[in-house]
Structure 1
Amino acid sequence: MEPRSVKQALDDPKWKSAMEFEFAALLRNNTWSLVPLPAGGKLLGASGYFASNTMMMVSTALRDLGFTTTKSDVSVFVRHTSSSLTYVLIYVDDILITGRSKSEISDVIQRLDSAFALKDMGPLHYFLGIQVTKTSDGGLLMTHSKYVQDLLLKAGMSGCKLCYTPLPSTLKIQATGGVEFANPHMYRSVVGSLQYLTITRPELAYNLDKASPTSLLTLKAYYDFDWTGDPNDCKSVGGFCVYLDRNLISWQYKKQGLVARSSTEDEYRALADLVVELIRIKGLISELKWSVSEAPMAYCDNQNAVLLAANPILHSKTKYFDIDLHFLRDYVARNEI
């Protein structure tokens, strides 16, 4: 169980030792400079500076080792040689390294350690609240078991029994008229924690929106929107999910920012957003030196939206969303979607 406060962490010898190691590494890496507080100045949290400074330091070291940043995600680095392919993922001061050659991975770790202080945690088991288990067929199983237990403890529900409470897809929640939550701060905190949980539990996305070697791959997506689905402002709600082969890799459920004057307009704008996500994913796959077997497929249940993507004649239905119309049609015409 992770400590709930600094005092609990300092009372645990193992946590105290880990904190001392981290602090020593920050000093060795010259993460900050200690200067007097200017007269009249106020202290601010330094997490943003710490994150950007650490990212810059690690990025510089990786580029010196021949890595390049992907255009689709600045935290992903790739090094491709004739004999190996190595990936590095950075999140603040946490680093994941993987690739086809164990010797190449060990070499990268040693070279990074010579550039700045780091600790090799061994094979991946736990990262950013996600538990990772290697399966017998060589795959990885990601779960949030420990994260969920900590969240239940935070919400005072660790002793509660399991109860299935599916949320009806036709539920309409009004912004006013209900009973106020007794602890709004706790409510927002729990909802925020649940949003992070959707990384391994995407089926929670709908409920949360209501509360707040080289092989060929196939990329396909499904999307749907409920026109004027929010009874408070008549804005549409819905989302999409993207699959790489049989693996769900991206999803979204949200309320549209504008009121759509027709269901076709609403579906087409949502489809344009989905295309942007497909382009980003396809670009990232390409930069990781993998290949997609064919143009990504996007499936929807609105026939007008499908026809508009290929037919420039239906002008009467497009005058309110011309930009999205031409953006999407260009990609369909080039057989990229």
Structure 2
Amino acid sequence: MWKTGNYGLKPGTLQFQRKKRKDLRGMQKYSSVAPKAWFKRLHDFLISTGFSASKTDVSLFYYSSGTSKVFLLVYVDDIIMMGDDSALVDSLLLRLSTVFKIRDLGTPSFFLGIETLPVDGGLVLSQRRYMSDLLVRASMTDCKPLATPESVTQAVTPADEEFDNPTQYMRLAGALQYLTITRPDLSYAVNRLCQFMHTPTVEHWGLLKRVLRYVKGTLDYGLRIAPSPSTDIHAFSDSDWAGCPTDRKSTSGYAVFIGSNLISWVSRKQRTVVRSSTEAEYKGLADVSAEVTWVVSLLQELGLHSGRPATLWCDNLGTTYMCANPVFHARTKHVEIDYHFVRDKIASRDFQVNFVSTKDQLADIFTKPLPSTRFAALRSKLNVVSLQPCA
């Protein structure tokens, strides 16, 4: 059995107690130096204890003893430690307590605003308290819920009438970004809202309120994680073409799975205008290739990689041909060189790119507004589930 714990470290043991300072320059200097010194002190101690620092993720440390493994993840002065040997975990905690004042909070139930709620065969990561707080801040606790965060008929365009409280718009849109940590179904809608942070209009405020109305109706939803019989990596990549009516740039999205668990996702506008749907899909595939490369690197470092090539799924035949066939040079001379690293990954057998039909493309939810039935189906396939039993 894995033993997991949430532990609070006390920076005061390193004499980094926060004090009120009248000198602003002194405060700025303190705020930049203290966290670095605190992390370095913790880092050096963990290394001396036998932990190894991950080169892929600087906040992650791991410890191996025979067949046993312990992982330690740091966020400021909070850590999560987990391992498959309870005695080893306890001994490492004892050594940690000799240098730092620590408080064992037990099995993580609430960490960085995210609840871990046990369900049959796994757990659900939920931010329902955070969502409720958002609705209070927006004065929308009694609003009428909606089935989707985006309308399929209303395009987001710049308008003339500016919103009279842009600060409120910025704060709520920024807060919604943190919510996408456990709610991939909100990624596309929140990404579009954040594109208008600089000059929000009345229309944009209405779209933000629509997202909050969807949040109201899905307060009990979260991201489900469960044991998987497979540890193979597979990812879905999708892009629209010239979907933004303002600058005609495309939107890309991807979803990365380890076995049956969703671990990474993105919805973002591409940096440049593309000349075809194939080029838009190819650039999206390059983005997910970079993410999968990072995931593979992390798993290899931790000794958890299956060794089998990752599978990338794309619903554009032209893109799948372009990835493997350099004969298409004449059609891709205008594509930036950095996107062609996908071909190198395929040639080295790190990846394989397969075609998937549009109806089975899970990343479709990250690139465009969808009807409620299609949206709900894809949301379920991304493991976003309700904690309430179905009637």
Q: TM-score range by the shorter chain?
A: 0.7 to 0.9
- Which of 1 and 2 has higher RCO (CA within 8 Å, sep 6+)? 2
Establish whether residue 145 from structure 1 lines up as the match of residue 128 from structure 2. yes
Partner of 2:212: none
Partner of 1:202: 184
Give ranges in structure 2 of 5+ residues lacking alignment.
Answer: 1-7, 195-226, 352-391
Task: Kindly provide the amino acid, as one letter, of the partner of residue 335 in structure 1.
Answer: R
After superposition, the Cα gap between the structure-2 partners of 1:59 and 1:220, relative to the gap in structure 1 and judged at 3 Å, is same
CA separation in 1, counterparts of 2:270 and 2:287? 11
CA separation in 2, counterparts of 1:41 and 1:144? 37
Q: 1:324 aligns with which of 338, 343, 348?
A: 338
CA separation in 1, counterparts of 2:29 and 2:128? 30
After superposition, the Cα gap between the structure-2 partners of 1:107 and 1:242, relative to the gap in structure 1 and judged at 3 Å, is same
Q: 1:172 aligns with which of 155, 162, 167?
A: 155
After superposition, the Cα gap between the structure-2 partners of 1:225 and 1:83, relative to the gap in structure 1 and judged at 3 Å, is closer
Give ranges in structure 1 of 5+ residues lacking alignment.
Answer: 1-20
After superposition, the Cα gap between the structure-2 partners of 1:56 and 1:41, relative to the gap in structure 1 and judged at 3 Å, is closer
TM-score between the two structures when normalised by the length of structure 1: 0.84
CA separation in 1, counterparts of 2:281 and 2:32? 38
After superposition, the Cα gap between the structure-2 partners of 1:173 and 1:160, relative to the gap in structure 1 and judged at 3 Å, is closer
After superposition, the Cα gap between the structure-2 partners of 1:214 and 1:221, relative to the gap in structure 1 and judged at 3 Å, is closer
Establish whether residue 245 from structure 1 lines up as the match of residue 259 from structure 2. yes
Establish whether residue 65 from structure 1 lines up as the match of residue 49 from structure 2. yes
Q: Offset of 1:136 from its aligned partner?
A: 4.4
Q: Offset of 1:294 from its aligned partner?
A: 2.2
Cα contact 1:130–1:142 (8 A) shared by 2? yes
Partner of 2:171: 189
After superposition, the Cα gap between the structure-2 partners of 1:325 and 1:191, relative to the gap in structure 1 and judged at 3 Å, is closer
After superposition, the Cα gap between the structure-2 partners of 1:41 and 1:57, relative to the gap in structure 1 and judged at 3 Å, is closer
CA separation in 1, counterparts of 2:153 and 2:295? 31
Q: 1:105 aligns with which of 89, 105, 109?
A: 89
Establish whether residue 124 from structure 1 lines up as the match of residue 108 from structure 2. yes
The size of the alignment, in residue pairs, is 312
Partner of 1:82: 66
Partner of 1:222: 236
CA separation in 1, counterparts of 2:187 and 2:323? 28
Q: Offset of 1:33 from its aligned partner?
A: 9.6
CA separation in 1, counterparts of 2:229 and 2:48? 29
CA separation in 2, counterparts of 1:325 and 1:309? 10
Establish whether residue 271 from structure 1 lines up as the match of residue 285 from structure 2. yes
Partner of 1:156: 139
Deviates more, 1:214-223 or 1:100-109: 214-223
Task: Kindly provide the CA deviation profile for residues 59-87 of structure 1, in whole angstroms up to 9, marking residues without a partner as x.
Answer: 11111111112222111111112141000
After superposition, the Cα gap between the structure-2 partners of 1:63 and 1:231, relative to the gap in structure 1 and judged at 3 Å, is same
CA separation in 1, counterparts of 2:40 and 2:239? 40
Q: Offset of 1:129 from its aligned partner?
A: 0.3
Identical aligned residues as a percent: 34
Partner of 1:257: 271
RMSD: 2.7
Cα contact 2:234–2:312 (8 A) shared by 1? yes
Task: Kindly provide the CA deviation profile for residues 125-147 of structure 1, in whole angstroms up to 9, marking residues without a partner as x.
Answer: 1100000123343x232111111
After superposition, the Cα gap between the structure-2 partners of 1:229 and 1:47, relative to the gap in structure 1 and judged at 3 Å, is farther
SS at match of 2:327: coil
Deviates more, 1:320-329 or 1:183-192: 320-329
CA separation in 2, counterparts of 1:326 and 1:127? 40
CA separation in 2, counterparts of 1:282 and 1:307? 24
Report 1:38-53 matches (<5 A): 41=25, 43-44=27-28, 46-53=30-37
CA separation in 2, counterparts of 1:214 and 1:65? 32
Cα contact 2:60–2:71 (8 A) shared by 1? yes
CA separation in 2, counterparts of 1:37 and 1:173? 45
Q: Offset of 1:326 from its aligned partner?
A: 3.6
CA separation in 2, counterparts of 1:108 and 1:303? 52
TM-score between the two structures when normalised by the length of structure 2: 0.73
Task: Kindly provide the CA deviation profile for residues 172-226 of structure 1, in whole angstroms up to 9, marking residues without a partner as x.
Answer: 311233x322321111111111111111111000111121199751211111111
